[in-house]
Amino acid sequence: MDAIAIWNYSNYRKDLDEGAGYHFNSNQSRLHSALNIGDSIWLVTRVVVRGRNEYRLAARLIIRAKTINSPSYKYGTYRVWGDVTVSSYFHIEKTSEHDVFELLKLLEMESGTLVGKNRSNIFQSMQTVRNISRKSSNLLESFSNQLPLETRAIQVLDESKLEKAFIANDAGQLNLLLNENPVGYSVSTKSEIKQSFERNRKLVKSLHELYNGRCQVTGHDSPLLYGVPTAEAHHVVYRSRGGADEMENLVLVSPNLHTAIHAANATFDYSSLAFVFPNGRVEPLVLNTHLEKRVA
């Protein structure tokens, strides 16, 4: 069953500035219980136009995965991931015809109603993730068809290319990726990615030292077998999509597994400390001393 939720405008803008993540986070367990794979969550935000609260559709995420975040993640325990190929971010125009306030009051919800709510208190009423009927989701879809898409959500670097530039210690390639492609990052984010180059090298070196170059999932020991380290650092939340360059967001994996993770767009769940693939395969860590499990 589809759902609707509020997304703070500042978080929506931050997400675009750092690389559209196509995921939504909350401390409400309903984010998981209210949604199944393939369902949609419609995200609404509030903007102030000429001194008046107005409401805009910010995104529609069609769910491909549900995971638990790391204990240190500040935006909530629960995460849903949207399928990038079919989900949408909408460009927020501050024009009256894009205001969805009246439409929100027409929506049929599993519990409660927005009928009678005014522009000030409707925001508070939507803080809970709410299931909506198929008819209501169709109304939102019909309305969204007239909205311009947010191009910055599409202009995000390929994570594999970004990681290869870091692995190869190729600052020149990194500059090409950030400056010669129509990437949607803010100027400050581009600068931060460049500045993190050296930090990334140190973190990867620390990971290799911590696990003696072994893959945390398979235990494959290339230093012992071949005399050379081949394992690669993988960002759990992609660096290209706002993920942090920190130990809590890194896992050391073998090159073949790393390729599979990216090709399948596998997600990492901190409640099981395992990679979950779309076909149902689960690959738990067999080596771990730096990541903390989070119990939902």
Query: Is pLDDT above 90 for 27?
Result: yes
Least confident of 61-75, 165-179, 210-224, 229-243: 165-179
Task: Determine the pLDDT at residue 296.
Answer: 76
C-alpha–C-alpha distance, residues 241 and 196, integer Å = 15
**Range picked from 6-15, 122-131, 182-191 for highest mean pLDDT:** 6-15
C-alpha distances in Å from residue 210, one per residue of 191, 218, 230: 29, 16, 15
Specify whether the CB–CB gap between 157 and 180 falls below 8 A: no
| Dihedral sign computed on CA atoms, order 282, 288, 291, 296 | positive
Query: Is pLDDT above 90 for 22?
Result: yes
Query: Is pLDDT above 90 for 168?
Result: no
Tally of CB atoms within 10 A around 95: 10
What's the distance, CA 196 to chain centroid? Answer: 20
Specify whether the CB–CB gap between 219 and 286 falls below 8 A: yes
User: What percentage of the chain carries pLDDT values higher than 90?
Assistant: 75
Task: Determine the pLDDT at residue 100.
Answer: 93
Specify the pTM.
0.93
User: Mean pLDDT over all residues of the chain?
Assistant: 92
Residue 174: is it exposed, middle or buried by C-beta count within 10 angstroms (0-12/13-18/19+)?
Answer: buried
| Tokens standing for residue 186 | 């803010």
State pLDDT tens for residues 90-130.
999 877 789 999 999 999 988 777 777 778 788 888 888 99
Specify whether the CB–CB gap between 64 and 81 falls below 8 A: yes
Q: How many residues does the chain have?
A: 296
Task: Determine the pLDDT at residue 124.
Answer: 82
R_g over Cα of the chain? 21
Long-range contacts of 230-238 (CB under 8 A, 24+ apart): 230/254, 230/255, 231/255, 232/163, 232/167, 232/258, 233/163, 233/167, 233/200, 233/203, 233/204, 233/207, 234/163, 234/258, 234/261, 235/159, 235/163, 236/70, 236/268, 237/21, 237/23, 238/19, 238/21, 238/159
Kindly give the interhelix angle for 171-179 and 187-211, rounded to the nearest 10 degrees: 140
State pLDDT tens for residues 203-215.
999 999 999 999 9
DSSP string across 2-15 = -EEEE--HHHHHHH
Burial 118-148 (b: 16+ CB within 10 A, else e): eeeebbeebebbbbbeeebbebbeeebeebe
Domains of the chain (ranges, CATH numbers): 3-153 (3.10.590.10), 159-284 (no CATH)
Task: Determine the pLDDT at residue 219.
Answer: 97
Confidence bin at 217 (pLDDT 50/70/90)? very high
Name the residue with higher pLDDT: 35 or 95: 35
Least confident of 18-22, 117-121, 186-190: 117-121
